[in-house]
Chain A
Amino acid sequence: MDLEYTAEQKKFRQEVRRWLADHMPAEPLQSFDTDTGFKQHRRWEKTLAEGNFAMVTWPQKYGGRGCNLIEWLIFEEEYYRARAPLRVNQNGIFLLGPTLMEYGTSAQKTRYLTPMAKGEEIWAQGWSEPGAGSDMAAIRCKATRTGDTYVINGQKTWSTRAAFADWVFCIFRTDPDSLRHHGLSFILVPLNASGVTVRPIRQLNGLTGFAEIFFDDVQVPVENRLGEEGQGWQVAMATAGFERGLMLRSPARFQETAKQLVELYHSHRNDILDLSIEDAVVKSFMDAEAYALSTYQTASRLIKGGKIGSESSLNKIFWSELDQRMHETAMSILASRAELLPHAPAAENVGNWLDDFLFAQSGPIYAGANEIQRNIIAERLLGMPRK
């Protein structure tokens, strides 16, 4: 155990810090769930790619730097420290990207990874269906193979970023006689394909962060399939592992939220009568630290050849419920002003807490509801009986 950064890692941190200081947008970008904001964020992805910072862990030939996971954590720390824009292509770079690395052919890697890194192709996720939410194996949306083409029919829903994205990665039933986890395939679909209809869904904050997607005889070539036909469930589980695990929510995000919470507490200290709030602030700091420490531990283990499996469910529960508690605490500190929208005259200095509080409510739901994660922990990590 050696909890010191190497000279090279320190140098890398300085390089990231300097680059971000020189390239950060002058004004905060609008939400990427608006048309204008989406375009701004796409440009920002391009800027990151030009600086070779789009996805530092990827191999150089796909636009990365070949960094290890510790360096990725350093990058993320600097990124959140600088309050840099959220990643509009997170479905692509954090979820599909690692899945492509594991299951993609070399032609697929070349085809998809570079445009993904440059923000030229922004990805949505298409797994859930009206009848397949937590029970993802109930997928009914069909991809029927005729020669070298899949013909897709059915509906996906809760597709994050689909309102403005270019592509969606989906799981479809390719074997019509199959049941549950069998006979599914992982297929990449351009959202401008003929027969695709995207219907945006308004979220709690009024913006269209996700959408329904309707497929009506949509044709895509067989080479858009990732992994073998019928292997879709395994491929999707690898993606889900990334989503719940290391990639989607780096600890830096929560550490910066905890820091802002401490600052918010300081600035309202004299108005706060509820003694439990200070305790909640301290606890937020501790838990964000614990998540960071645990992630460094996991990253170190993975660098030495370890694997991450069902343990990622522990992470998902921890960060999502921590995020919720931190934002509940912020709302308690802001008290009667907590509900004010940013343009309300009295909303000065309330920051982004309200919007982030709303978003924090989705954490325990998306990427597999926390109840499902608890089942996974109980059955796969602890060995409790399925029935």
Chain B
Amino acid sequence: MDFTFTKDQQLYHDSVKRFLTAKVTTEYIRQSWASHTGSSAKLWQGLVELGLTAMLVPKAYQGLGMKLLDFILLAQECGRVALPEPLLETTMVATPILGTLAEKDPRCRSLLHKIAAGEARIAVLHTVNNLISDAHNADWLLLPKSDQLHLLARDQVRLTAQASIDPSRRLFTVEWQGSSETCLTSGTEGVALLAFILNCGALATAAQLLGLAEAMLAMTVQYTIDRQQFGRPIGANQALKHHLANCAVATEFAKAPLYRAAYTVSQRPSQADLAISHAKVAAGEAAVLTAKHCIQAHGAMGYTWECDLHIFMKRAWTLDKFWGPAGFHKNRLRLWLMDTKAKIGADQTFSTQS
């Protein structure tokens, strides 16, 4: 039993954090809003060179063969800087899905090679969202239809842009016609993979929400130190201290559920639904609470376009509702918990129940 990250995981985390903090500044994000695609080839190349797109691709397809657990701290960093690139849909959602199909499907194998090399981006649709993000930049789209999962090239679908309050989020509805050629899988396997997509999406989102909460809290603490009223920093006021302390508590107790969820996906898939739903709810609550207290601490400044807080706040509000809002995930937990056969209690946290 060891609930810590390895030295290697921590070192890699540090280098990705340094890269993202240096490159993905709020100035950069504001510039990206004005661009047509919202995306930068140069930044993407930097992410590729760090090995991020290759990490979860199996070694057989020129990837690094790592696990979602190895990626979870990095996903948290993507949230911390409010990364405006579709990195996590490609790496944390599409890659594991293609990986499970690769052995029997040459299309998936070739796509994994390209993902590892940074030459392909994948957008993923799921019924829980109905909107697909960054499809305009994607080379391929993973699309569900009842028990089927299809893979279509971008020029095989029709996208309609759906403007979001978060200018970094490029959302679309998609019209498409699948065929037996585009269908990757169906039936029992299809259903299982669609569920897996949902879990991977929710896990990646939970990690970002946690990073966003930490980012908002850090910038707001700084603001309460710098901003003076009544001849002293506003952060000296207990009311603000207690608001922000509550954010720290919520954020802290969303961490272990997130890391447990990332571990569970690869090590105990039968418990992944519960672990991921817990992580998503806890991270969403932490981020939304933090957004609320942070805008309050910023006062009128927090309500402006000029203040950077809204970059993170809007991402928190939107991601909290994406890949299953709190109600969806709480309901998955509720259905399990209210079944009298659910094994709960002090000795059950790490038990191997299904």
B278 CB, min distance to chain A CBs, angstroms: 6
Q: For residue B256, give the distance in angstroms from its CB to the closest CB of chain A.
A: 4
Kindly specify which of B133-141, B203-211, B344-352 makes contact with the partner chain.
B344-352
Kindly supply a per-residue 1/0 record for chain B positions 223-265, scoring 1 wherever the CB is within 8 Å of any chain A CB and 0 otherwise: 0110000001101101011101110110011111101100110
Q: Are B248 and A381 in contact (CB under 8 A)?
A: yes
Binds B, one of A197-205, A279-287, A341-349: A279-287
Contacting residue for A5 out of B1, B334, B348, CB 8 A: B1
User: Is the CB–CB distance between B346 and A80 below 8 Å?
Assistant: yes
- Judge whether B3 and A297 touch: CB under 8 Å: yes
Q: In chain A, what residue has the closest Cβ to B343? A: A259
Closest B-chain residue to A5, C-beta based? B1
Is A166 an interface residue when CB atoms closer than 8 A count as contact?
A: no
Q: Give the CA-CA distance A222 to B232 in the complex, in Å.
A: 46
Task: Assess whether B240 is in contact with A384, with CB atoms less than 8 Å apart.
Answer: yes
> In the complex, how many angstroms separate the beta carbon of B348 from the nearest chain A beta carbon?
8
A279 with B330, Cβ < 8 A, contacts A374-B245, A381-B248 known:
yes
Q: Which residues of chain B are near A255, meaning CB under 8 Å?
A: 344-346, 348-349
- Considering the complex, give the chain B residue whose CB is closest to the CB of A377: B245
* Secondary structure class of chain A's binding surface, majority of residues: helix
Q: Does A107 make an interface contact (CB < 8 A)?
A: no
A285 to B1, CA, bound (A): 22
Q: Which of A237-274 contact B (CB under 8 A)?
A: 251-253, 255-256, 258-259, 262, 266
Find A290's partner among B217, B245, B256 (CB 8 Å cutoff). Answer: B256
Select the residue from B5, B249, B333 with max chain A CB neighbours within 10 A: B249
Q: Is the CB of B241 within 8 A of A293?
A: no
| A318 interfacial contact with B, CB 8 Å | yes
The 0/1 profile, CB within 8 Å of A marked 1, for residues 89-120 of chain B is 00000000000000000000000000000000
Partner of A304, one of B4, B232, B256: B4
Pick from A6, A303, A375: contact of B238, CB under 8 Å: A375
Which of B242, B249, B334 is within 8 Å of A371, CB to CB? B242
List the B side residues contacting A266 at CB < 8 Å. 338, 340
| B267 CB within 8 Å of chain A | yes
Q: How far is the CA of A81 from the CA of B248 in the complex (A)?
A: 31
Which B residues are CB-close (under 8 A) to A3?
Answer: 1-3, 260, 263-264, 267, 350
Given A3-B263, A384-B235, A384-B244, check contact A297 B4 (CB 8 Å): yes
Give the chain B neighbours of A5 by CB distance below 8 A. Answer: 1, 350
A78 CB-CB contact with B under 8 Å: yes
B236 touches A386 (CB 8 A): yes
Q: A340 an interface residue at 8 Å Cβ cutoff?
A: no
Bound form: Cα–Cα A353–B201 in Å: 40
Question: Quick one: closest B residue to A294, CB to CB?
Answer: B256
B323-344 contacts to A (CB < 8 Å): 330, 333-334, 337-338, 340, 342, 344
A289 vs B337: C-alpha distance in the bound complex, in angstroms? 13
Contact call B248/A314, Cβ cutoff below 8 A: yes
- CB within 8 Å for A252 and B248 given contacts A1-B69, A386-B236: no
- B282: Cβ under 8 A from any A Cβ: yes
Given that A293-B260, A385-B236, A387-B232 are contacting pairs, would A256 and B346 also be in contact in the complex, using a CB cutoff of 8 Å? Answer: yes
Enumerate the 6 nearest inter-chain pairs by beta-carbon distance, A residue then B residue, closest first. A378-B241, A293-B256, A252-B346, A374-B245, A77-B346, A377-B245
A282-B333, A294-B256 given. 20 additional CB < 8 A pairs? Answer: A3-B350, A4-B267, A77-B347, A255-B345, A255-B346, A259-B345, A259-B346, A282-B334, A285-B344, A289-B257, A293-B257, A294-B255, A299-B3, A303-B2, A377-B245, A377-B248, A378-B242, A382-B221, A385-B235, A387-B236
